[in-house]
Amino acid sequence: PGEGVFRRYSGPGGIAEELRRQIAEHPRTTKLVTIGKTVQGQDILAVKVSARASRTPDGRKPTTVYVGAQHAREWITPEMVRRLLDRVLDSYGRDPAITRLVDENELWFVPVANPDGYDFTFEEGNRLWRKNLRDNNGDGRITPGDGVDLNRNFPTKWGYDNEGSSPNPASETYRGPSPASEPETKALDALVKRITPEFLVNYHSAAELLLYGSGWQVSTSTPDDIVYAALAGDDREPAVPGYDPDLSAELYTTNGDTTTHVHEAHGTLGFTPEMATCASAAASVEGDAWEPQACGSVFEFPDDERLISAEFERNVPFALSVAQSAADPDDPVSAVGHRA
């Protein structure tokens, strides 16, 4: 890192510094909120975007929350969230639809939900770290058996079937010692509880899927499924081109996951877009600038502005359609013309 596009959360040139600058540049439409601290004591930053953001009570207007980097190694996801924030701020006062969106709604951005883990992946040898930086064995350093999977640590159905999460600290899906044991979990949960958003979009990678609904069971259908499907589209016409829309539990079941929790505890409808793999992004460019065979893991999205920007752009219509639907979720504004 250094030459490339991806950057750390903390330190000079990092995402946190950029958020603070953007807030200073857009004082009327933004507000910076520290939603909590990480297990190692860093601030977890959120940006509220709405007309007169600092002067209106939080969560009063129809609200959507965008989350990135809950899993440390999924670098394309904080890029998605910070670029969406940029796009919305740059378009305010220029693009009538986005101006109206910001005037009438609240958009909340949490570009890095797991700042400790995310920054850790920029250090030599740690590129594929997934969890937070809980020192599970308390030996004073971070070693492979450490960390809690923040997408298994939420209180709803925590540890439910012992399959969609693990009690073993060394597991990549370790759910932590107790429900919401992690400060990062508490921070996001407290935000959602306080502002009760209509929607939450939890960006992950890497699989090109658009997941929604229950994560712990393949449930019988509910009225919410109509809203989910209208926004996510179908296999023939997915709301993010090339992403298969599906019920979360159809991929595999999880428990203590974010979107199940925000739905059951706070009534928030959640989506988990699984953004592109390295190979899929690499294959999308002509020529041999990026060879899919040269990809390491699926999470190592090519550090190339063209590819990152293309992946961002293909996700924008869905992201905006969700926020546009918050005022009346039962009449969703579909990105591709699907009707509820």
Report the catalytic residues: 274
x-or-dash string of contact with ligand 0X9, 142-161, rule CB under 6 A? ---------x----------
By CB under 5 A, tell whether 73 contacts Zn ion.
no
Tokens of 122: 């920029």
Beta partners for residue 34, in sequence order:
45
Site for ligand 0X9 in 189-218 (CB under 6 A): 204-205, 211, 215
Q: 235-259: buried (b, 16+ CB within 10 Å) or exposed (e) per residue? A: eeebbbeebbbbbbbeeebbbbbbb
The answer to whether residues 156 and 260 touch, using CB atoms and an 8 Å cutoff, is yes
Which of 252, 286, 287, 296 lies at the binding interface for ligand 0X9 (CB under 6 A)? Answer: 252
Provide the Cα torsion 201, 208, 216, 265; round to 10°.
0
Q: Which region, judged by CB under 5 A, interacts with Zn ion, from 2-10, 66-74, 233-241, 243-251?
A: 66-74
In the complex, minimum distance from the CB of residue 260 to ligand 0X9, in angstroms, rounded to a whole number? 7
Which of 5, 51, 251, 310 lies at the binding interface for ligand 0X9 (CB under 6 A)? Answer: 251
**By CB neighbour count within 10 A (0-12 exposed, 13-18 middle, 19+ buried), where does 220 fall?**
exposed
The strand pair at 106-110 and 209-212 is best described as: unpaired
Tokens of 249: 């539990």
Site for Zn ion in 204-243 (CB under 5 A): 204
State how far the Cα of 239 lies from the Cα of 316, in Å rounded to an integer: 10
In the complex, minimum distance from the CB of residue 204 to ligand 0X9, in angstroms, rounded to a whole number? 3
Within 10 angstroms of residue 33's Cβ, the number of other Cβ atoms is: 20
Which of 50, 64, 248, 280 lies at the binding interface for ligand 0X9 (CB under 6 A)? Answer: 248
In the complex, minimum distance from the CB of residue 113 to Zn ion, in angstroms, rounded to a whole number? 10
- In the numeric block, the tokens 């939420």 are attached to 154
By CB under 6 A, tell whether 249 contacts ligand 0X9.
yes
Nearer to Zn ion, 173 or 324 (CB): 173
By CB under 5 A, tell whether 71 contacts Zn ion.
yes
Contacts to ligand 0X9 by CB under 6 A: 71, 74, 151, 204-205, 211, 215, 248-249, 251-254, 257, 272, 274
